Amino acid sequence: MENSEIADVFDQMAELLELSGENMFRIRAYRNGAKAIRELPENVADILTDSARDLKDVPGIGQTLADKSRTLVTTGSLPQLDELRKKIPPGLIKIMHIPGLGAKKAIALHRELGVENLEQLRTACEQHQVRQIKGFGEKTEQSILEGLTIAQSAAQRMRIDQAQTLASRIRAHMTQCASIKRLEFAGSLRRGKETVGDLDMLVISDDPAAVMDHFGQLRGIASVIGRGDTKMSLRVDDQFQVDMRVVPQASFGAALQYFTGSKEHNVAIRQRAKKMGMTVNEYGVAKLSAPGELFAGASEEELYSTLGLQWIPPELREGRHEIQWAGSDHGFPNLVQLRDMQGDLHMHTVASDGTESIEAMAAAAAKRGLKYIAITDHSKRVSMARGLGPERLLAQWAEIDQLNRNPANGPAVRILKGIECDILESGPLDLPDEVLEQADWVVASVHYGQKQSRQEITARIVGALCNPHVDCIAHPTGRLIGRRQPYEVDMSAVIQTAANERKCLELNAHPTRLDLSESFLMSAIAAGVPISINTDAHTIDGMDVMSFGVIQARRAGVLADQVINTWPITRLLSWLERN
């Protein structure tokens, strides 16, 4: 059982225990355990089978969760979870997540009306039964109906690219307001999470009323959720919530830090402040001996410095190791940045399913400051994309050789002869070794047979990594965010094989993929496997998604030198000759 599956079980336990009225300490233990296991850079099963290791040594895992992890790994199920599922209708979990409800009200709806799922809850609201329950009322009933509509919409969360687009639209509108001195987005968008549940916007202004009036004129408003003296919440495009807070200059940095989060990061910050005799909130820092005298709130840098920390990049603020790093004498890690990227090693041309020529893609890469690219059109198995067989591929490589030989008239970037070679359902690669050995760069990928068993898909990918001509595995889990779950693959085995064979794994930067996930990225880096951040561009504009891959890598703590396409071309070519 994968770490993510164990973590999902513990999350379900926490939710069902909350619905059963269990004490918050036990609920919190399961949630903390789920987070610890999900972010663990090695497989729980490997730790449990190592007599020299103890899962309890992992922060957040006690004896109880260690025992339950062993049960899950050995049996694939957890009796306590099965018992809770018998007692509590699973539909109540969805009900408790409706805005404004929670566990207690979900239980009340079940107890008083027998509601067990979203459909029954909608019927009860439409028949005005909910307002009859003590503590609910007509407004609550209407609020539930609105929440149900949101919950049953096509998407409850936006991908990061969609959220950035909406944020840009809002920023363009708000900057037309003369009363705004500064505007920043916070929350999960600023932390670079792959999906975003809502937008948090902070504004400095001496005239909050004028700012909120202007905010209320935003195009696409579905409803105004609420408006106060300094806070206003809107629902945009029928489902997405945007919260705006107007804060004074003196506390803007503290507010930005607080509302950026995450909750776990902020808890760690408050704990550190308390040990230093201080307290931290969204207004600033104060001494415990004088809580009303706020200071160090104007900027994040000032706030972190007051606590003896370097400024922490928002992508790392997840309550992992960032406090330790920021307080270290060794300085903060050199996380990869967009400006570090020197190449893009996965892109397609008109020869398969791209829209542009080799020359056009090379020119576009040069315009973006890249020094080299790899052309990796599909191999012949991907017939719907007009994949290349040996003859067409060798002709394309001859064309690339010609372009590279004439730098005066050719592209301003070095072009590598590459291929995205399919791993066939039966195991072997889609092209013979005598062709692949002539390539500069080979990425192998799974496009067909994605519903094969875990053993079959793992064997296919591991086998490809063992081929001496394969350099990288593209989009290793095949997930499409919000559309397709990862295929069954033992990523621990894939990562270990990549380490053994001195191969790399791709972080596909397209925001529908972001594959590898941050947890698998952490595992790969811990195993010494280098990463290649690529756009998988099929158009010129497709190259612009590189930033999303960089954000994902930063969230996993990936350093610039751990990404092979930040290397100069000479170092990359030397690495490619390793076999």
Domain CATH for 54:
1.10.150.110
In a domain, 332, yes or no: no
CB 359 within 8 A of CB 330: no
Local confidence band at 332 (pLDDT 50, 70, 90 cut-offs): confident
Category of 295 on φ-ψ map: left (φ > 0), alpha (ψ -120 to 50) or beta: beta
* pLDDT score, position 291: 87
CA distance 15 to 5: 15
* pLDDT score, position 571: 96
pLDDT tens column, 5-33: 898 899 999 999 999 888 899 999 999 99
**8-state DSSP, 216:** T
* pLDDT score, position 155: 43
* pLDDT score, position 17: 93
Closest-CA residue to 430 (of 456, 399, 469, 401): 469
- Range scoring the smallest mean pLDDT among 42-56, 93-107, 376-390, 419-433: 93-107
Tokens for 415? 């072009």
* pLDDT score, position 154: 36
Domain CATH for 213:
3.30.460.10
* pLDDT score, position 209: 96
β-strand partners of 480 = 484
Q: What is the DSSP string of 460-493?
A: HHHHHHHSTT--EESSTT--BTTTBPPPS--HHH
Domain that holds residue 376: 338-576
Q: What is the mean pLDDT of the chain?
A: 92
Domain CATH for 534:
3.20.20.140
Instruction: Single out the residue in 212, 247, 282 at which a domain terminates.
Output: 247
Report the b/e string of 533-551 with b at 16+ CB within 10 A. bbbbbbbbebbebbbbbbb
The stretch 106-127 carries a mean pLDDT of 91
CB 69 within 8 A of CB 3: no
User: Does residue 357 share a domain with residue 294?
Assistant: no
User: Does residue 145 share a domain with residue 27?
Assistant: yes
Using DSSP, state whether 2 is helix, strand or coil: coil
User: Does residue 375 share a domain with residue 493?
Assistant: yes
User: Does residue 411 share a domain with residue 363?
Assistant: yes
Q: What is the DSSP string of 129-183?
A: -GGGSTTTHHHHHHHHHHHHHHHTSS-SSEEHHHHHHHHHHHHHHHTT-TTEEEE
Residue type, 344: D
- The H or E element spanning position 196 is strand 195-196
Res. 292: pLDDT tops 50 = yes
Instruction: Single out the residue in 302, 326, 350 at which a domain terminates.
Output: 326
In a domain, 46, yes or no: yes
The stretch 322-336 carries a mean pLDDT of 87
The stretch 167-191 carries a mean pLDDT of 96
* pLDDT score, position 212: 96
Tokens for 400? 């690339």
Res. 388: pLDDT tops 60 = yes
In a domain, 36, yes or no: yes
Q: What are phi and psi of 130, to 5 degrees?
A: -65, -40
**8-state DSSP, 413:** S
Tokens for 25? 């300490």
Q: How many domains does the chain have?
A: 4
Closest-CA residue to 416 (of 570, 539, 578): 570
Q: Tell me the pTM.
A: 0.82
* pLDDT score, position 343: 98
Local confidence band at 152 (pLDDT 50, 70, 90 cut-offs): low
Local confidence band at 410 (pLDDT 50, 70, 90 cut-offs): low
Report the b/e string of 146-166 with b at 16+ CB within 10 A. bbbebbeeeeebbbbbbbbeb
pLDDT tens column, 420-457: 999 999 999 999 999 999 999 999 999 999 989 999 99
